[in-house]
Each structure stands twice: as structure tokens, then as C-alpha cells.
Amino acid sequence: MTNLLHVDSSAGPAGLSVSRELTARFAATWREHHGDAGYRYRDVVADPVPLVNPAYVTLGTRVERLGTVPRGKIAELAESAAEEREWALTDPLVEEVLAAGTVLIGTPMYNFSVPAALKAWIDRITFPGVFTDPGTGESLLAATRVVIVAARGGGYGPGSPREGFDFQEPFLRKYFENLGVTDFTFIHADLTRAADIPQLHALRDLGAASYATAADRVVQEAGGGAVKMQNG
């Protein structure tokens, strides 16, 4: 499936956001291979996803108690205008994920994890049963590729003093694994603040090298992903 869902979640504007720069590079390369028809962009900061609320939880609980309900039947189970609204907000976001062969997520590290804007999107799309085939019980995302482009102001790689502070990659990996995704690519740009935070100035060269490696990888992965989807 040659569709790309591109999600950005950095509060930083263009020119200041490393994750946005890198995902834009990935998307541009991908579109060179496939054109624009299969490309979908969602900026969860510019267009925030509403937080889930009691009506969402009530409808989700009712659906979950019935087992795996076909997505097309969920609207019929809404018992109030509030529940209808919650499902109307949710279903298009779920559809975007299901339609994507590749989901590209750009995320900075905020307080050792992901931005609230991205978490709101995650909470909204994780409606009970929507990524499960009601007939077989198998994941509908088993063939979906997930590419995470993560920018971190400090260094959190293996062997670094703050390796144990990284709750960004482990959270996203376990979240998507729980949905049945097995095809992951994580691209990290570390020490992105080394050039402008005095305490990190000694690490500027490492930060520049990490960014250059990430910039090369997004192009390689976008091109490689295109070949993989064409062949598979």
C-alpha cells in the first residue's frame, strides 16, 4: 500500500523544529517516488486533536463490552449527541491510520516523553477494536510500517548518562506493538540544543553529526520504504 500518513507534533515553528525538518525531508523523498495522491499530512499542533472526554469513554466502554464491533456499526451504538460527536471526531483519524501503508511521526522529546499534542492523537485513535479485524481477530495494522523521527535536545543514546531517561522510544514502540505493528524504524537526532545551550557547547560536534546522520537516514528510509512497498 503506497499511502503515507505524515504526523507532526512539535510546538516549534518551521526553522526551529528539527523533527519537522526531518519529517519534511522524508515526505519529500517519498513523494518523489509516489507523487502526491497517497500523501496525507496532519499537524496535531496547528490542528489539535480534542482530548477524549466522558462521552468518548462511555461509548468506548459500551463497544468494548460487545467484543470487536465492525467500525461501520459503532455509530449505531451511540446513545447521545455527545457520543455521536465523539465518534465523528474519532473515525476520520482512525481511517487515516488504516489507509496508510506507512505512518511517519515526527516528535520532539518533551520532559523525557512525547508532546501532549501527540498523546491526544494517540488517545483518540485508540478506540476499542478499531484496529482489529472483527472476523479473524487479527491486527489490521500487521502490514503497516511505522517510522518515528525523534528529536532530543540532549543525548539519550545507549551508554549515555541519560539513557534511562528516554521514555519516548519505549512508549511509542510498545504502543504500536500492542496494536500489532511489527515494522518499526526509529531515527534519532540527539543533542539538537548543543549549539545554543551553554552547558552543552562541548557536544556541538556530536550534535551536528547526529543531525547529519538522521538527515541521511530519512532520505534512505523514505526511498527504501518506497521500494519495499512497491515490491510487497
Q: Which residues are annotated as a binding site for FMN?
A: 10, 17-19, 109-112
Cα dist. 60→17, 70, 97, 117, 165 in Å?
A: 35, 13, 18, 21, 33
Q: Which residues are annotated as a binding site?
A: 10, 17-19, 109-112
User: Residue 95 half-sphere exposure, CB side, CA atoms within 13 Å?
Assistant: 8
CB neighbour list of residue 66: distance below 8 Å, 6 or more residues apart: 77
User: How far apart are the C-alpha atoms of 215 and 175, rounded to whole Å?
Assistant: 25
Do 9 and 117 meet the contact criterion of CB atoms below 8 Å apart? yes
